[in-house]
């Protein structure tokens, strides 16, 4: 049996620190994306954003990211 690395999944951190994402959203990586950085780049093309919250970076899906 041979095992293959499948890459990573990046999930939404929710609209704020006390609530989870109502959609349980996750970025669907392309076949060429194997690192978290590459998967996040895929997500940005779909409207995902990355913000700082409580001293750390969080990933937000289009439904949870704050309005501009």
Q: Is residue 35 part of a domain?
A: yes
Residues 6+ apart with CB under 8 A from 59: 10, 11, 12, 13, 27, 40, 43, 48, 49, 50
pTM of model > 0.85? no
Q: Is residue 56 part of a domain?
A: yes
**Which residues form the domain of 13?**
7-68
Q: Is residue 2 part of a domain?
A: no
Number of domains in the chain: 1
Per residue of the chain (68 residues), what is the pLDDT tens digit? Answer: 777 666 778 899 999 989 999 988 888 767 788 888 888 998 998 899 999 999 999 999 999 987 66
């Amino acid at each position: 049996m041979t095992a293959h690395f499948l890459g990573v999944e990046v999930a939404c951190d929710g609209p704020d620190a006390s609530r989870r994402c109502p959609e349980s959203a996750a970025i669907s990586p392309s076949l060429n994306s194997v690192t978290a950085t590459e998967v996040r780049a895929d997500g940005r093309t779909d409207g995902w954003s990355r913000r700082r919250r409580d001293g750390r970076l969080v990933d937000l899906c289009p439904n949870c990211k704050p309005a501009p």
